[in-house]
A and B are shown apart, each in its own frame.
Chain A
Amino acid sequence: MRFVSFRSTTSVLVTTALLLIATAPSQAQTRAETLRYVTGASVNTLDPNIPGSTRESFALSMSTYDRLVAFGRKQLNGKWVFDLDTITGELAESYEVSSDGLKLTFRLRKDAKFQDGSPVTAEDVKWSLDRCVTAPILGKAQLLTGSLTSADQFKVIDPLTIEVTLPKPDKLALPNLATVYPMIINSKVARAHATPDDPWATAWLKEHTAGSGAYVVESFKPGEQVILKRDESWNRGSANKPAFFKRVIVQSVPEPATRANLVERGDADLVLDLQASDVQSLEGKGKLKVISTPQYNAITYVSMNNQIPPFDNVNVRRAIAYALPYEDMFKAALFGRGSPLFGASWADGKPANGIYPFQQPVKLDLDKAREYLKAAGLPEGFSTTFSFNVGQAATAEPMAALVKESLGKIGIKVDIQKLPDAQMSTQINEKKLPFYTEGIVAWLPSTDYFYRNFYTGNQRWNYSSINNPDLAAIAQEARFEPDKAKYEEAGRKLNAMHFDLMPQIMLWQPNQDAVMAPSIEGYTYEFHRQVDYRDVSRK
C-alpha cells in the first residue's frame, strides 16, 4: 500500500519535471536576452541627484542617461575595475584641455539622440550642467570638488560644441563630469515639466527619465523593481554597438540568503552584497562565477575623536593602533575577503609612495601599546565606548567584541554601543562619538581628495575631527599641483603625517563580491559600487 502511494508521488514529480522541461525552451529564449539583477537595496528615484537617493539609483542612472565623458576600465589583479586616469568620450566625440588647463572643450557626437528621438545638442548639455551647479541637488556639492560652481563656466560655442572654463587648473574637473550626477538631460522635455517653484523639474525627473542612455525605463516600482528596455539606437557601447541585454530587471530582495539561493538556482543572473559566508560557500561549490574585487575606493576605519579626551592625546591613539587584533578582526568580520591596510613593513620608516589609502606598519603589539599608554600618562588605562551602526552589524559586531577583548588586556575598558543607523549618523555629524567604526567611499580616489574630505574641516566626513593646519595646507596645495613628482612628494608627506598623528586607524578595503551565472561576462567594478548594466553580456 505504502509502496504504491510512494510510486504515485514519484510519478507526479516526474510529470511535473517533464512539464517544466517541456516549457523551458520557450522561456529560455527570453531569459537569455534578459539580465535579472537582484540587490538588497532599492532604486528610490530615477534622478540620482535627489537627496536620499540610493546606490541602486546611481547605477540605474548610468544606463538611462549619458554623460559627456566616462571612465575607462583597466585590469587589477586580473579583474576589471574602473580607471580613474582614462577618461573617454560618451556623448563627447572628443575633448580638448587647453595648455594652461583652464579650458575644456567638448565636441558632441553628431549621431547622439535622446530617447524621444531628438538630437543631443550643446544647449541640452549646458542646461544639464547649469542644473547640476545651480539647483539644490546633490550634484552641486560633488562638482564643487572639481572647481565647477557656476553656470557662467559653461558656454555653448556651436550646436555641437561646449566649452567649460575653470578658475584654476583642477585635476578633478574632468573626472567629475564622468560621475553619476552631471548626466545630460533632454532640456526641452524637462523644461516642459518645470514649474515656477521648481525651475529645474526635480519633482518630475524623480519619476520620469528624459535621457539619451542605453536603456529606457519600462516600469518603475520604488522599493520593488525596475524593468529596463534596451534603446536600440544607442550606440555608445563597445565597438559602437547597443547594450547587450534586451531587458534588464533590477529587483530588490532584502534577504541575503534568498539572494544567494536565487543565483545558485539560476533564477537570478547577477547578485551583489551577499554575506561573506555565503560567498565563500558558493565559491567552494564552483558552479558560479565569483568575482571579488577589493573596493579600492572604499576604506573601513576605526575612528577616534581627536578633540575628546583621552583621544586628543596622540600617544593614546598610537596605543590603540598597536592594541587592535587586526588579523583576527579581518577574519571574523570579512572572512579575510578584502585587502588589509595594516601590517606593512616600512624598511626606512617612510611610506613607500604617495597613494592613499596605504598599508600602515601597525600590528598587534601589546607591549608597545602599554608603553604608549604610559607615555600618555594613563598607565592604568581608561573607560570608553565603541560604537557601530546596526546596518553594519554583520561585520562590526564580531569586530567590536575583539576590540573590547584586546583593549581589556591593556586596561582600557570598552562598552560596546550598537546604534540605529539614523542615530549613528546624527552623532557622527555632531561629533559626539569618541571611538567607533565606520566606512567611506570616494568616487574620485586621489590622495589630495581623500585628505581634504576626510581629514580637514569641521564636517561629518572628518571622522577623527582632526584639525592640523599643516596637513590641511599640504592637501589643499596638492589639489592644484600640476607636476606629478611634486604631487607624489606631497602624498608621501601626508601619508607620513597620517602614520605619525594616527588620527584614525585604517583597517581594510572590503571586497565587492559579485556572484553571477557562468555565462555572464564583462563585469566591471565601478566607482559607484554597483553593476553598470552596459558592461555585462551573456556568452
Chain B
Amino acid sequence: MMTGLGATMVRAGKRLLSSLPALFGVLVFTFLLMRVLPGDPAVFFASGPNAGKEEIEQIRKQMGLDKSVPEQLVFYLSDIGRGNLGRSMMTGQPVLKDLRERLPASLELTFTALLIALIAAVPLGVVAALRPGSIVDHGVRLFCALGVCVPTFVSGLLLIYVFYYLLGLAPDPTGRIDVFTSLPPQRTGFLSIDFLLAGDFEGWWAACKQLILPAVSMALFVIAPLARITRASMLVSLGSDFVRTARSVGLSWRKVVVTYALRNAILPVITIAGIVFSTMLGANVLVEKVFSWPGVASYALDALLSSDYAPVQGFVLLMASLFVLVNLVVDICYGIADPRVSIE
C-alpha cells in the first residue's frame, strides 16, 4: 500500500513539473491576446465628463500601457515571478488580493454544486443501468435532458422566483451571507467551514441557506454528463466477467452492485467529475451574476468587458493552475480507486 501511494506521489510530482511549460504558454498567450483585442482600457476608464487627453495618458501610464508590448511582457513576467499580478482598475485592489478573496466563494459554490450533482447523478446512473430501457431509464434520461437544456441563469432565476419571490423560503439571493449577519473570523475562506470552526451554528445555517439555490442551479446543469457516464460505465461493468462470477458464487445483490460493479465503474466518473469541476469554475459566471455571488468568474467577466487587463490575465493564470491541480487530484484518486494505475 505504501509503495502504491509513493508511486502515485512520484507520478503526481512528474505531472506537476511537466505542466509548467504549459502554464508559461498560457501566461504569454493571454497577455498577447489581451493586447490584440480592440479597445483602449485607458480611454474606457477615463470616462468622466471631464476626462481629457491628460487623464487618458495618466491612466495609460498607471496601467503600464505607455511602453512597447515586448517591454510590457518582460515587466509582466518579472512581476509574476515576484508574485505580483498587477492592480485591477475596476476594484482598485491588487489582483492577487481580489482573487484570494473571491476564489473561496467560487470554490465553495462549485464544490457544493459538484457534491449535489454527484449525490444525485451516481444513484440515478446506477438505477438507470440496472434496468436499461425501462421507464426508470427513460425517466432519468428525460431529467438529464431537462437539466442540460435549461441554461443555468434561467434555472437560477426560476429558483429565485419560486423559492424566494413566491414562497419566501429562501433568503434573498444576494451574495454569500445575509448582510445583517456578522462574519466569522476568516480561516479557510469557506464560510460553511469558518462558521463551524467559530462554533456559530446560526451563522452556519444562514451561509448554507444562501448556498443552496445557486449550487442547485449549477448542479442541475452538470447532472446529465455525470449520470450518463455512470450509466454507461455501470452497464459495461455489470456485463463483465467478474460481476457474472460474483453473481454466480451467490454474493448478495448489494455486494455485487456496490463493491464490484460500482467500484470498477467509478473511474470514468472521477475523470468526468474532474473535468466538470474545472469547467464549472469558469462557467458559473452566469450563476454568480444572478445570485450576486462574489466569485472569480463574474469578476473576470466584468474585467473583460472593461478591458481591464490585469484581472483577466490573473484569472486565466488561476484557472490554468487550478486545471493542473484538478488533474493531479484526479490522478491521485485514480491511484486510490485502482492501484494498478500507479504501476508504470
Assuming the contacts A265-B165, A426-B39, A426-B43, asked whether A442 and B49 have C-beta atoms less than 8 A apart, the reply is: yes
- The one of A223, A255, A425 in contact with B290, judged by C-beta atoms closer than 8 angstroms, is A255
**Contact (Cβ within 8 A) A141 B165:** no
B294 at the interface (CB under 8 A from A): yes
A177 at the interface (CB under 8 A from B): no
- Cα A262 to Cα B173 in complex, Å, equals 8
B264 at the interface (CB under 8 A from A): no
- The one of A38, A42, A206, A421 in contact with B174, judged by C-beta atoms closer than 8 angstroms, is A38
Annotate A126-156 by CB proximity to B: 1 below 8 A, 0 otherwise. Answer: 0000000000101001101100000000000
A81 at the interface (CB under 8 A from B): no
Name the residue in B62, B157, B179 with the highest tally of chain A Cβ atoms < 10 Å from its Cβ.
B179
Assuming the contacts A27-B180, A44-B91, asked whether A16 and B43 have C-beta atoms less than 8 A apart, the reply is: no
- Cα A36 to Cα B98 in complex, Å, equals 24
Chain B neighbourhood of A442, CB < 8 A: 49
**Contact (Cβ within 8 A) B175 A251:** yes
**Contact (Cβ within 8 A) A223 B169:** no
- The one of A141, A267, A390 in contact with B305, judged by C-beta atoms closer than 8 angstroms, is A390
B168 at the interface (CB under 8 A from A): yes
In chain A between 266 and 296, which residues have their CB closer than 8 angstroms to a CB of chain B?
Answer: 267-268
Interface of A, secondary structure class, is mixed
A440 at the interface (CB under 8 A from B): yes
In chain B between 134 and 162, which residues have their CB closer than 8 angstroms to a CB of chain A?
Answer: 157, 160-161
How near does chain A come to B171, taking the closest CB pair, in angstroms?
Answer: 9
Chain A neighbourhood of B46, CB < 8 A: 51-52
- Cα A424 to Cα B50 in complex, Å, equals 18
Assuming the contacts A222-B91, A223-B90, A225-B179, asked whether A422 and B40 have C-beta atoms less than 8 A apart, the reply is: yes
How near does chain B come to A385, taking the closest CB pair, in angstroms?
Answer: 15
Chain B neighbourhood of A441, CB < 8 A: 49
- Cα A243 to Cα B100 in complex, Å, equals 36
- Cα A23 to Cα B190 in complex, Å, equals 27
Name the residue in A136, A224, A253, A422 with the highest tally of chain B Cβ atoms < 10 Å from its Cβ.
A422
- Cα A143 to Cα B43 in complex, Å, equals 21
**Contact (Cβ within 8 A) B58 A136:** yes
Chain A neighbourhood of B168, CB < 8 A: 20, 265
How near does chain A come to B166, taking the closest CB pair, in angstroms?
Answer: 10
Chain B neighbourhood of A425, CB < 8 A: 39-40, 43-44, 47
A252 at the interface (CB under 8 A from B): yes
Chain B neighbourhood of A261, CB < 8 A: 160-161, 164-165, 172-173
- Cα A420 to Cα B89 in complex, Å, equals 17
- Cα A265 to Cα B172 in complex, Å, equals 9
- Cα A136 to Cα B56 in complex, Å, equals 11
- Cα A265 to Cα B46 in complex, Å, equals 37
**Contact (Cβ within 8 A) B305 A253:** no
B289 at the interface (CB under 8 A from A): yes
Chain B neighbourhood of A20, CB < 8 A: 168
- Cα A225 to Cα B299 in complex, Å, equals 14
**Contact (Cβ within 8 A) A222 B93:** yes
Chain A neighbourhood of B196, CB < 8 A: none
B292 at the interface (CB under 8 A from A): yes
Assuming the contacts A36-B179, A422-B41, A426-B43, asked whether A258 and B290 have C-beta atoms less than 8 A apart, the reply is: yes
**Contact (Cβ within 8 A) A422 B165:** no
- Cα A440 to Cα B53 in complex, Å, equals 18
Chain B neighbourhood of A249, CB < 8 A: 179
**Contact (Cβ within 8 A) A252 B292:** yes
Chain A neighbourhood of B58, CB < 8 A: 51, 136
B38 at the interface (CB under 8 A from A): yes
B45 at the interface (CB under 8 A from A): yes
A356 at the interface (CB under 8 A from B): no
A50 at the interface (CB under 8 A from B): yes
**Contact (Cβ within 8 A) A422 B164:** no
Name the residue in B51, B55, B180, B294 with the highest tally of chain A Cβ atoms < 10 Å from its Cβ.
B51
B21 at the interface (CB under 8 A from A): no
How near does chain B come to A141, taking the closest CB pair, in angstroms?
Answer: 4
How near does chain B come to A32, taking the closest CB pair, in angstroms?
Answer: 13
In chain B between 88 and 129, which residues have their CB closer than 8 angstroms to a CB of chain A?
Answer: 89-93, 98, 101
A315 at the interface (CB under 8 A from B): no
How near does chain B come to A481, taking the closest CB pair, in angstroms?
Answer: 22
B284 at the interface (CB under 8 A from A): no
Assuming the contacts A262-B174, A265-B165, asked whether A255 and B89 have C-beta atoms less than 8 A apart, the reply is: no
A204 at the interface (CB under 8 A from B): no
Q: Closest residue to A38 on the B side, CB-wise?
A: B174
How near does chain B come to A312, taking the closest CB pair, in angstroms?
Answer: 24
Chain B neighbourhood of A453, CB < 8 A: 49-50
- Cα A422 to Cα B62 in complex, Å, equals 17
Assuming the contacts A223-B90, A426-B44, A429-B56, asked whether A141 and B179 have C-beta atoms less than 8 A apart, the reply is: no
**Contact (Cβ within 8 A) B55 A138:** yes
How near does chain A come to B259, taking the closest CB pair, in angstroms?
Answer: 35
A residues adjacent to B (C-beta < 8 A): 16, 20, 27, 30-31, 34, 36, 38, 42, 44-45, 50-53, 136, 138, 141-142, 144-145, 206-207, 221-225, 227, 249, 251-255, 257-258, 261-262, 264-265, 267-268, 390-391, 420-426, 429, 440-443, 453, 459-461
**Contacts A141-B52, A255-B157, A429-B56 known; 8 new A-B pairs at CB < 8 A:** A52-B92, A136-B58, A221-B101, A221-B294, A253-B292, A255-B289, A258-B174, A426-B39
**Can you give 28 contacting A-B residue pairs, CB < 8 Å?**
A20-B168, A38-B174, A44-B90, A45-B92, A52-B90, A138-B55, A141-B54, A141-B55, A145-B50, A206-B92, A222-B91, A225-B175, A255-B157, A258-B160, A261-B164, A261-B172, A264-B165, A267-B172, A421-B44, A422-B43, A422-B44, A422-B306, A425-B39, A426-B43, A426-B44, A441-B49, A459-B52, A461-B49
